[in-house]
Amino acid sequence: MAWRARHYGAVGALAAGMLAWGAHEAWSSRDRALTAPPIVVTQAYDTWADTLTRNEMLADVLERAGVTGREYVAFMKAKQTLNPRRLRPGLVFHVRRVRGTPVADRIGVRTEPDKRIWMKRLGGDSGWREVVEGIPWITERMRTTAVIETNLYDALDRAVPDSFLPSRERVLLAWAIADVYDWEVDFSRDIRPGDNVAVVIERLGSEAGERRFGRILAARVDVAGSPSYAFTFEGHYYDDKGASLRRAFLRAPLQFRRVSSRFGGRYHPVLRRWRAHQGTDYAAAWGTPVRATAAGVVTKAGREGGYGNLIEVRHANGVRTRYGHLSRFAKGLHVGRRVDQGETIGYVGSTGLSTGPHLHYEFLVNGRPTNPQRKDAGAGDPVPRKLKRAFDTWRTQLLAELEPRDQSPPALTASGVAAARD
């Protein structure tokens, strides 16, 4: 299959792949006959792209390609990596058929960013054969910075050009940053206009010019003006002092990606205040999953006055959390049950004294409602002692990339750093 890799390298464009393949085979047979110089002959084949639409199955695509009856059986027998149940709508199949024949002899589909599967008809009674082609992605380390005006999405969306990361990847990057800081920053409440975000990421690029991000290697988020660092190390994120970002309490009972599920949607600040009723209200769509902010034991799960459907969880050190106005409870949730941190315990609703779907969250210390501060999340475990020196070296290196000396103003420097080693 070496020739194919070379060939794709030369062609470079995904859509051209099928055409290129056809051309190659015609070329080979001509070579053997020693008749003519290699010229591109595509007329021998019909090639087309077919998209799997909603409610369609692989069989529908195959039927349009003439792969029915015995051919279908042979096709299904030959497929191994190709999993018909995991094909999602929108997938594009590249089909080739020898002109004048009813059955396709090549069907290709890219099931993963780094994988393309070709099904090849061998002819006669030989059936089909599956060939899996790897698509190489080149990793680069890059830094980007953004200033938050309304929210994290908008900030990244404005700061990062398409040539650096396409729109969908920018959304995923915002989610990923929020995940890294899940114990540290509530991006719907803690951030103020003018706060900065800087990240060093692995940016992956394919030969076809596609772009996506890999890991977040380092980040700095200014939370209400004060910096909070994150450095990946041995599968965890640590701050600049080597304390794990993972804490006893999550910063928010709703996942950021759930609160701001509409891409680029603005967060409405109306409900985000700590109010006289001693809780924090989160506006969120009906049915949004609510998670326990820390491990604990359920002490209430039922109807309770103005709270509507309420869950109360008891945690270590005299802390309790309450989640009100729920539309329903998670399956199997009952008083006395242990819950893990991040576990879905219920769903946003508008039961009790509530004018619209939102979550009422309370954080009680020794029975007293408290506005949870970042310090209340608990202390993170330090980097294991024997790895401390390795971490320090790694952090110093990443910090230099995150905050270069000749720093340009915090608009955007989506310029490449060095090709990744790692």
Positions in the binding site for Zn ion (CB under 5 A):
279, 281, 360
How far apart are the C-alpha atoms of 293 and 182, rounded to whole Å? 10
Beta carbon nearer to Zn ion, 242 or 346: 346
Beta carbon nearer to Zn ion, 17 or 279: 279
- What is the smallest separation between the CB atom of 190 and Zn ion, expressed in angstroms? 18
How far apart are the C-alpha atoms of 347 and 309, rounded to whole Å? 10
Which residue do the tokens 């990057």 mark? 173
How far apart are the C-alpha atoms of 72 and 127, rounded to whole Å? 10
- What is the smallest separation between the CB atom of 279 and Zn ion, expressed in angstroms? 4
Asked if residues 133 and 406 have their Cβ atoms less than 8 Å apart, the reply is no
- What is the smallest separation between the CB atom of 401 and Zn ion, expressed in angstroms? 43
Q: Which amino acid is at 342?
A: G
Q: By beta-carbon distance, which residue lies closest to Zn ion?
A: 360
Q: What is the DSSP letter of 124?
A: T
Radius of gyration of the chain, Cα coordinates, nearest whole angstrom: 27
Q: Is the dihedral of CA 348, 354, 359, 360 positive or negative?
A: negative
- What is the smallest separation between the CB atom of 192 and Zn ion, expressed in angstroms? 22
- What is the smallest separation between the CB atom of 350 and Zn ion, expressed in angstroms? 11
List the one residue out of 50, 46, 51 whose CA is nearest residue 22.
46
Beta carbon nearer to Zn ion, 241 or 275: 275
Asked if residues 314 and 296 have their Cβ atoms less than 8 Å apart, the reply is yes
Beta carbon nearer to Zn ion, 225 or 356: 356
Beta carbon nearer to Zn ion, 282 or 329: 282
Determine how many CB atoms are found less than 10 A away from the CB of residue 113: 12
- What is the smallest separation between the CB atom of 273 and Zn ion, expressed in angstroms? 10
Beta carbon nearer to Zn ion, 186 or 281: 281
Terminal Cα-to-Cα distance of the chain (whole angstroms): 28
Beta carbon nearer to Zn ion, 202 or 281: 281
Beta carbon nearer to Zn ion, 121 or 325: 325
Both structure tokens of 320: 């309790």
Rounded to the nearest 10 degrees, the angle between the axes of helix 17-33 and helix 2-11 is 120
Beta carbon nearer to Zn ion, 277 or 338: 277
Beta carbon nearer to Zn ion, 15 or 353: 353
Asked if residues 67 and 75 have their Cβ atoms less than 8 Å apart, the reply is yes
- What is the smallest separation between the CB atom of 111 and Zn ion, expressed in angstroms? 45
- What is the smallest separation between the CB atom of 181 and Zn ion, expressed in angstroms? 24
Determine how many CB atoms are found less than 10 A away from the CB of residue 330: 19
How far apart are the C-alpha atoms of 222 and 217, rounded to whole Å? 17
How far apart are the C-alpha atoms of 418 and 24, rounded to whole Å? 36
- What is the smallest separation between the CB atom of 298 and Zn ion, expressed in angstroms? 20
Asked if residues 315 and 296 have their Cβ atoms less than 8 Å apart, the reply is yes
How far apart are the C-alpha atoms of 255 and 253, rounded to whole Å? 7
List the one residue out of 188, 369, 367 whose CA is nearest residue 279.
369
- What is the smallest separation between the CB atom of 270 and Zn ion, expressed in angstroms? 12
